[in-house]
Structure 1
Amino acid sequence: MRIGEGLSVGLIGLQAFLIQAQAFISPGLPYFSIIGLPDTALSESRERVKSACSASGFQWPQTRVTVNLSPASKPKRGSTHDLAIATAVLDAAGAIPPQSFEQALVLGELNLDGSVLPINGLLPILLHASAQGIHKAYVPYQNLEEAQLVPNVTVIGVRHLGELIEQVGGKARYQLADVSKQQVNQHDNTEHQYESSKHLDMAQVVGQEQTKWALTVAAAGGHHMLMTGPPGAGKTMLASRLPSILPPLTEKEQLEVASIRSLCGNLQDFGVSNLPPFEAPHHTASTASLVGGGNGVAIPGAVTRAHRGVLFMDEAPEFSPRSLQTLREPLETGHIILSRSKGTATYPAQFQLIMAANPCPCGYAYGTGERCTCSPRERSRYWNRLSGPILDRIDIQVAVPPVSNFISSDHEPRETSAKIRTRVTRARTISRSRFNKYGWSCNAQASGEWLRSHTSTRALALVNHALESKRLSLRGADRAMRLAWTLADLNGRTSPTADDVNAGILMRTRLQ
């Protein structure tokens, strides 16, 4: 009796685990079964594997074939394991030398003609394999560039099952399809994405110097922000340029973002970049699309795709109250836990929330309000959609007035994103050095206990007065102090002054 083996990796969210595929060919009527909690897509692997093996010149056994995926207690999903199942059957049948894939991952989806198709989530899979001491992997040829991002793992691109058989000393008959044209097109699209992101610059925004300064503070400290102003004032334009003034992602952060994009299947559209991600869901987006969802095991939502970057919610009061309330936990914890019938997935969700809103449903309740057609009740109902707990988690609230003089503003010299980013990066470096032993990377992550023990008594007196007058909640007081420390970092001071604390309180309560 010979047991064939193949090694793969499963994913529950971004948490990976090794899967051992074992095949056994026994006497009996022709039947092919896969056991070990496969989902529908994985159960259908039986037909894909049989057809692909036949297309590679292998005569399928006319007996009973059983494949077990261990650990049997964990659910397995998707077509990622097709190639591992095929190699286990080929090993059991003696079509390839024994132990050909010992301590080597075999990953890929099989087509009926034996060609190997690309898969999602390869990057977190290989990062887990490297951590487990596995340093060799056979991957789909179209995923080869992604796989080469992982250090200490030798990756071999495979285009056809027959090609894989020949690489380990077996014999195969197959016809290889040309995928080079598809690869070139995908690469060209990636380059286009990179160039498009570089064209967004703060210098393109006319006026709004006060809002640009507020965005600079938000970027320097990692603070959440709400912009309120009439239509056409530039709220969306300003928010879309926030990533251009954020500090570049570190190598570790780039791999985190790339792993999420790999799991979502759009890494080839973005590539690996040091530009923070930017997500802008429509206000009609469902709760599941915002925080993640789906059957079996939940897939990432917009809050996870915005990890290490910006989540922009335009027309924030138009989002459903349920969707807005689901943001409360990730805003506090930096991650989201989604439980479904086949497992609990934990996804990172450490993002900067930028909201934009009109002053009222019609948008013209600013200045004298002469053009506004909304009743007081309509305005109240509009703003009540942003609940107190959500607004209390927003560090900066700023009004965005209309630009009054386009011509004179257009001739004023404007700061570029590169220049603003230099100041932001310098402030972030100061805060990261200060919080290094605590594991915090910016002021927005600092604990209230640390803030209270390191802020001067005179500055704290202003916060206490705001608490007593009900201008701030206890959470709001901590956030105001975080803003004060960010302002001190931007101004090159070692600790916030009373003016910094007063400015921090004002930035939180300007719209209240």
Structure 2
Amino acid sequence: MVRIGSASSVGFLGLRAFTIHMQAFVSQGLPYFSIIGLPDASLSEARERVKSACQAAGFEWPQTRVTVNLSPASMPKRGSAHDLAIAASVLGAAGKITGDALARTVMLGEVNLDGSVLPVPGVLPAALHAKACGMNRIIVPEANADEARLVTDIAVTGVRHVGELIELLGGEARYTLSDLPEHTADDGHAMAMPPVGDMAEVIGQDHTKWALQIAAAGGHHALLVGPPGAGKTMLASRLPGIMRPLDENEQLEVASVRSLCGTLPRFGISDIPPYEAPHHSASAAALVGGGSGIATPGAITRAHRGILFMDEAPEFAARALQTLREPLESGCIALSRAKGTAWYPARFQLVMAANPCPCGFAYGTGERCTCRERDRVRYFSRLSGPILDRIDIQVEVPPINEIVAGVLPKDGKDSASMRQEVIQARDCATERFRAQGWSCNAQADGVWLRANTSRQAIELVNRALDSRRLSLRGADRAMRLAWTLADMQGKMSPDRQDMAQGIALRTRMA
């Protein structure tokens, strides 16, 4: 009688999960262990890890041919997270565990040569997928158990050793836990994230704070232009503190991305939107994702539902900047490689900061600027027209010329009060767009905007179009800004003043 051992795991193409069904077959022949079904190099190496780990648990490895098939065979599989499921399928084929012990169960975990089970990335999205597929149990490394328990209505079991797995599934094992090393899900690099700073700590810049509050309220992209030391980076880093808190589903989305990147233990679950600030030397692959085989997430995916801040934006490579164009519109990124296409979410708010020229002092009268005119033009032209056209808010950040003695920075408007106003404006937009399924004004399409904006307000847009101050895309974005300005003031719709301010925010003339 042929005995087949079965187990299930979860694989990923980007953030899209799929179930991997494993079947192990112990047959006659010379001793050999093979894994088939498009495994990558690290998954192929599971042969030696699984064999040694099972023997460390007291299992006598079959001195015949052992074959493990990973189904669906057409889908590429990668990583060491499938070790535990491979071990369970072989144990089932050898009769070490009962045949029905793994019904409706998903397993994830890397095994070490001594039988210990090591933490792996991607446990949270795997648990969400298992629940959606009707599984009722997930077995994971003990270090990942708390992460898996974030998903309700599915039983979570953490194991530290393959021997524990064997006993859990009805078999007998011989092993000891006393000599096993301690492992954490972040390999010992866990750290507390610094709190988001308060807007009240920024001296002056009331107009820029107001512009960023509009950006937070409407989900708009922003460009800050000003000399060095004006506070552009300081302001941008405080933007997450005034944004609407993430709801439960958004928190799970962000946590799933961080789990896949292996950084969830460092960040934890939080309602504060993520903040990513790649260095200006970052490549296109670092921004959008890349790598051999199946592409891994980049900065734009890690910034999903939050802020992607690009300081010294003109210093970024032109190719890296151009890769942002499609994600800014679609809210996702599809990365095609020879082994498959990986899909990642990328619905982020882009905030750029730039100096007005290479030396940074071409502001006001420009008397301190040492740049030639052509150098100034060439420097800022690195931000191409198509990129700038996608930036809703473009504002000047002037230098601070005076510090008043005895006035504390926190005498200004704080993040808590600004955030409350943002929440109220977002609630207005969410209620208005309930039928369309949009959550903010930045998602409204041109058809809706033109149909619902007053004729008097649209007249201003037409004038800006006629004078070439705005493109057609820019006109839609100016109307979105006007609706956000109206929401901030509790109006039902924008008037001419709101539209004028929206156009001014688009053209750096506010």
TM superposition score normalised by structure 1: 0.97
What is the match of residue 255 of structure 2? Answer: 258
Unmatched runs of 5 consecutive residues or more in structure 1: none
Which structure carries more helix by proportion? Answer: 1
Computed over aligned residues only, the root mean square deviation of the Cα atoms, in angstroms, reads 1.7
What is the match of residue 333 of structure 2? Answer: 336
Judged with a 3 Å threshold, the aligned counterparts in structure 2 of structure 1 residues 178 and 254 are, in CA distance, closer, same or farther, namely: farther
Amino acid at match of 1:34: I
What is the match of residue 142 of structure 1? Answer: 143
Judged with a 3 Å threshold, the aligned counterparts in structure 2 of structure 1 residues 343 and 87 are, in CA distance, closer, same or farther, namely: same
Q: By how many angstroms is 1:430 displaced?
A: 0.3
Q: By how many angstroms is 1:179 displaced?
A: 7.7
Find the residue that maps to 2:11 and give its secondary structure: strand
What is the match of residue 371 of structure 1? Answer: 368
Q: Any conservation in 2 of the 1:206–1:410 contact (CA below 8 Å)?
A: no
What is the match of residue 426 of structure 1? Answer: 424
Judged with a 3 Å threshold, the aligned counterparts in structure 2 of structure 1 residues 2 and 186 are, in CA distance, closer, same or farther, namely: closer
More displaced, 460-469 or 404-413?
404-413
What is the match of residue 315 of structure 2? Answer: 318
Q: Any conservation in 2 of the 1:297–1:342 contact (CA below 8 Å)?
A: yes
Aligned partners of 1:392 and 1:332: how far apart in 2? 11
Find the residue that maps to 1:496 and give its secondary structure: coil
Judged with a 3 Å threshold, the aligned counterparts in structure 2 of structure 1 residues 186 and 88 are, in CA distance, closer, same or farther, namely: closer
Find the residue that maps to 1:336 and give its secondary structure: strand
What is the match of residue 455 of structure 2? Answer: 457
What is the match of residue 280 of structure 2? Answer: 283
Q: By how many angstroms is 1:180 displaced?
A: 9.7
Aligned partners of 2:144 and 2:408: how far apart in 1? 48
Judged with a 3 Å threshold, the aligned counterparts in structure 2 of structure 1 residues 116 and 185 are, in CA distance, closer, same or farther, namely: closer
Q: Any conservation in 1 of the 2:478–2:503 contact (CA below 8 Å)?
A: yes
Q: Percent identity?
A: 64
Q: By how many angstroms is 1:411 displaced?
A: 3.9
Please give the residue correspondences for 1:42-441 in structure 2 after superposition, counting only pairs within 5 Å.
42-177=43-178, 189=190, 192-193=192-193, 196-198=194-196, 200-408=197-405, 410-411=407-408, 413-441=411-439
Q: By how many angstroms is 1:205 displaced?
A: 0.5
TM superposition score normalised by structure 2: 0.97
Aligned partners of 2:369 and 2:18: how far apart in 1? 58
Does residue 31 (structure 1) correspond to residue 28 (structure 2)? The answer is no
Q: By how many angstroms is 1:407 displaced?
A: 2.4
Query: CA offsets per residue over residues 37-80 of structure 1, 9 Å max, x none?
Result: 00000000000000000100001111100000111111110011
Query: CA offsets per residue over residues 455-506 of structure 1, 9 Å max, x none?
Result: 1111111101111111100000000000000000001100000000010001
Aligned partners of 1:76 and 1:349: how far apart in 2? 23
Find the residue that maps to 2:256 and give its secondary structure: helix
Query: CA offsets per residue over residues 297-325 of structure 1, 9 Å max, x none?
Result: 11110000000000000000000000000
Aligned partners of 2:341 and 2:307: how far apart in 1? 25
Does residue 506 (structure 1) correspond to residue 507 (structure 2)? The answer is no
Paired residues, what number?
508
Q: Any conservation in 2 of the 1:121–1:264 contact (CA below 8 Å)?
A: yes
What is the match of residue 479 of structure 2? Answer: 481
Judged with a 3 Å threshold, the aligned counterparts in structure 2 of structure 1 residues 322 and 511 are, in CA distance, closer, same or farther, namely: farther
Q: By how many angstroms is 1:197 displaced?
A: 1.9
Judged with a 3 Å threshold, the aligned counterparts in structure 2 of structure 1 residues 110 and 291 are, in CA distance, closer, same or farther, namely: same
